[in-house]
Amino acid sequence: MIKIYHNPRCRKSREGLQILQESGKDFEIIEYLKESLSFDEVKAILNLLNIPPNKLLRKNEAVWKEHFKGKIMSDEDIIASMVKFPKLIERPIVINKEKAIIGRPTEAIKQIL
């Protein structure tokens, strides 16, 4: 089943959700700000995306600037920060079986449908 890691307050995430709705395919919405992700879940998403943790990180978020900016952090530290502060996770993320993509630009979502 297709999954979208979604933040309803984010315009790009809403646009990504619309693409999935228009596709007519079944999908699951995971509001990751409400349903906290575990360390292992974030790590699994990163593995599917085939990117390092810093590429999934929203560095313009206030929480990043206040708590982490300028610090030297391991990949594990970055993942732990995303688990603690899920707003730091880039969105939307769409997973279709063993493929995943960050929906920025949102049109990229169509590549894995």
* Domain harbouring 40, CATH code: 3.40.30.10
Q: How many domains does the chain have?
A: 1
**What is the domain range of residue 8?**
2-112
Residues belonging to the active site? 10
Q: Tell the burial category of 98 from Cβ atoms under 10 Å away from its Cβ (0-12, 13-18, 19+).
A: exposed
**Rounded Cα–Cα distance for residues 108 and 47 (Å):** 18
pLDDT grade for 93, boundaries at 50, 70 and 90: very high
**What is the pTM assigned to this prediction?**
0.93
Which of the four pLDDT bands, split at 50, 70 and 90, describes residue 53? very high
Percent of the chain with pLDDT over 70: 100
* 108 vs 74: CA distance, rounded Å: 29
